Amino acid sequence: MEAAREMSEAQELALRIEESCARILQEVELFEQFTDNDDQKLKGAVDLKGLKSMIIVEQNRIKKLSQADPSHEGHISKLKASNHTFEDTVWCVAKTCIGLLSVDSRRKPEIICSNGREWVKVSAVTEKQIMWEMV
């Protein structure tokens, strides 16, 4: 009974992460299309390759994990350790910026905006991390 519940939980978590990655990737690609079609001066002006590649890597990692045996020890922990939450946070912050030049979740600062005058470092802290720090 416990194994079936863990399997279901792992499958649901993997599906949520896959859907989140797909949504982020779709939004990034739509943004690229908008900037490429809006004005020839903007074509290729916003560098999103780093963010896109990290999302694709995460998608592939989650697909591989979702095909693995969910009863294997640590399976759910590996899914919960996904970087998709951080990448989603970086993208959400980037969407609020003006004069966006670069978004790359592998680099610090992750976001360069205001036509290069502002550099943004994103810090994403989970509830679990806060609890550990409070103890």
Q: Which pLDDT band, with edges at 50, 70 and 90, does 87 fall under?
A: very high
Residues 107, 85: Cα–Cα separation, whole Å: 16
pLDDT score at 5: 61
Q: Which pLDDT band, with edges at 50, 70 and 90, does 32 fall under?
A: confident
Three-state secondary structure along the chain? CHHHHHHHHHHHHHHHHHHHHHHHHHHHHHHHHHHHHHCHHHCCCCECHHHHHHHHHHHHHHHHHHHCCCCCCCHHHHHHCCCHHHHHHHHHHHCCCCCCCEECCCCCCCEEEHHHCEEECCCCCCHHHHHHHHC
Q: Is the pTM of this model over 0.85?
A: no
Predicted confidence (pLDDT) at residue 26 exceeds the cutoff of 90: yes
pLDDT score at 106: 87
Q: Count CB neighbours of 128 within 10 A.
A: 9
* Mean pLDDT on 68-96: 85
pLDDT score at 119: 96
- Assess contact for 59 and 22: CB atoms under 8 A: yes
pLDDT score at 56: 94
